[in-house]
Amino acid sequence: MAKVTRTYEELLRLVTTINALSSNKEHVDANTKGIKKLQKIGTKLKANLDDYNEKLEDIRLDNAHTDDKGCLITDDKGGYKYSKDGIKKLNKDIKALLQQTFEFYQFTFSNEGIEIYAFLEGWVEGLEFPSMELTDDDDVVEVIEETPIVSL
């Protein structure tokens, strides 16, 4: 098992893509084994996603607006309110959080059923896709190997 480093931004992109594919009925019906493996990957990433969400909530709380006594000011739905400076700092802190890295061990199972998902490269051990090179023609991209790829 190879240990790799990823950013939280990459994690969110992966989870969003897995969720989108898992909720697409046509795709689910067409690739049941692949979908089950994607869902398994999603389950295994839950701890990393929970860690991100906890850090995000800390950032929200740290930047929330308070009154003179230090009490949080919330909206009608219980969400935090932010001052103009608080919003700027909140956005800056969230961008920094997205660039933070975490380590995990690549998933190790048969690539059968998921070999078409280019977005899994680097997340699943042994899953590689053809490289792409620019040709001499203006902005024309040529795929070195012909492989059907589903990506973002």
pTM here?
Answer: 0.77
Amino acid at 58: D
Least Cα distance to 45 among 11, 77, 78 occurs for 11
Give me the pLDDT at residue 135, please.
56
Residue 130 lies in a domain: yes
Residue 32 lies in a domain: yes
Overall number of domains in the chain: 1
Give me the pLDDT at residue 56, please.
97
Residue 26 lies in a domain: yes
First vs last C-alpha separation in the chain: 26
Residue 34 lies in a domain: yes
Residue 79 lies in a domain: no
pLDDT in tens, the chain (152 residues): 789 999 999 999 999 999 998 888 776 676 678 888 898 999 999 999 999 999 999 999 999 999 999 999 999 999 999 999 999 999 999 999 999 999 999 988 888 888 888 899 889 988 776 665 555 554 544 443 333 333 33
CA–CA distance, 119 with 70 (Å, rounded to integer): 45
Cα Rg, the chain, nearest whole Å: 20
Residue 62 lies in a domain: no
Q: Which residues constitute the domain of residue 101?
A: 3-52+93-143
Give me the pLDDT at residue 131, please.
62
